Structure 1
Amino acid sequence: MSFFEILKLVFPLFLIVLMLYGVLLFVKKYQFKGSKLSTENLRIITTLMLMPKKYLSVVKVNDKVLILGLSEQNITLLKEMSAEELNLTDDSNFQNNPNFLEVFKKMIRQ
């Protein structure tokens, strides 16, 4: 195998790698920046598994508390309340991931 034949094999490979690198730089430059909702405004308070792949979840978004039904196919909003109604304005109350029943009993009392 001569040098010219080796060059004919390596040069297209080098061009393909160079083009892939250019695409990577282009995607990095113009990539989707994501949601404007920061993670400090979104918090999962607790989650309860009802059946395999079916959950009830209590989520705090800004000053609202949402009870969500989660399954493999969809997410359903079951109830929406303000955080002030549930005394969830202070995050120090729920630092240790509270029990679902504690949060649910608090919501039922309202």
Structure 2
Amino acid sequence: MMLLTVSSSMNSYLQFLTVLIIFVFVLAVTWFFTRWMANLQKGRTYGANIEVIETYKITANKYIQIIKTGDKYLAIGIGKDTITMLAEIPAEQIHLSDKTGDAMPDFKKIFEKAKIMDKDRKNEE
């Protein structure tokens, strides 16, 4: 009877280990496939002659984008089913941001600003 109990619990552990290994394998295959597909799509969708400079959201499904096509800058309106050219913008009127900086906001600055605003609010009361 004791041998049967040990064998049964060992069988349960082996089944659990097998399912865990299969799960990790499927997860790894999915991750590698997703990365491969993303690289494949990136190569297809980004050209050397078209670049999105800036996007501004107007409503839930309407945007204004400034794009660079060749040497021209264009403002386009993007709706749910349409894209409309709004204007051509001279290159000297475009203000490009420095993309070399850190994209994440500095938490310390945000926290200090929030503390000052909270202190001002308490002083007003």
Q: Structure 1-normalised TM-score?
A: 0.48
Q: Choose 1 or 2 for highest CA Rg.
A: 2
Report which of the two has the higher share of strand.
1
TM-score by length of structure 2 reads 0.44
Q: Give the helix-richer structure, 1 or 2.
A: 2
